[in-house]
Amino acid sequence: MRKLPIDEIGRLSPEEYKEIVKLPVIAVLDDIRSHHNTGAVFRTCDAFACEAVYLCGITGTPPHRDIQKTALGATETVSWKYYESTMTAVTELKSKGYKIAVLEIAEGSIDITSFNPATDEKIALILGNEVNGVNQEIIDICDYCLEIPQYGTKHSLNVSVSGGIALWEICKKLR
């Protein structure tokens, strides 16, 4: 094996990226406090060619240097919208035919590895606040509640890490 130098990776230019077909997956950030987490979700959505990121409530918006630090330019390639209310964003997404999935530890949740969306399904994945998670009123109107199995003592992952795992699982099943 040989590690590939950056000029052999075959990265798309921002212009080329804007032209490719995106997966109908939208990450919805519900009151994310950390700009670094927000930037990391942008970067993940760019990597998996997700349609967009919706920023809700207290979630920071570009341009912000801490978002840019972790996004590494993904705020320029991934479409995004800001909503004062997560409920408004979710209601709009439902009206456009998106199935709403929340990533949360809850009764009746589905192990993320067992989640099998239809390949033509449009999915909005809601990621919640670093301390309080997703608001219950949002969970109540979701189509799916997904959970990442955890075997240690914390039963908590950083929101950008859990978002990356969930987005990967969803995107690979839609491809």
Is residue 154 predicted with pLDDT exceeding 90? no
pLDDT at 46 over 90: yes
User: Does 155 have pLDDT greater than 90?
Assistant: no
- What is the per-residue pLDDT for 156? 87
Residues of the chain with pLDDT > 70: what percent?
A: 100
pTM for the full model? Answer: 0.96
Instruction: Enumerate the domain spans of the chain.
Output: 27-174
Chain mean position to CA 33:
15
- For residues 132-137, give the mean pLDDT: 95
In this structure, what DSSP letter does residue 73 have? T
Q: In CATH, which of 3.40.50.2300, 3.40.1280.10, 3.40.640.10, 3.20.10.10 is domain 27-174?
A: 3.40.1280.10
Instruction: Give the 3-state secondary structure of residue 120.
Output: coil
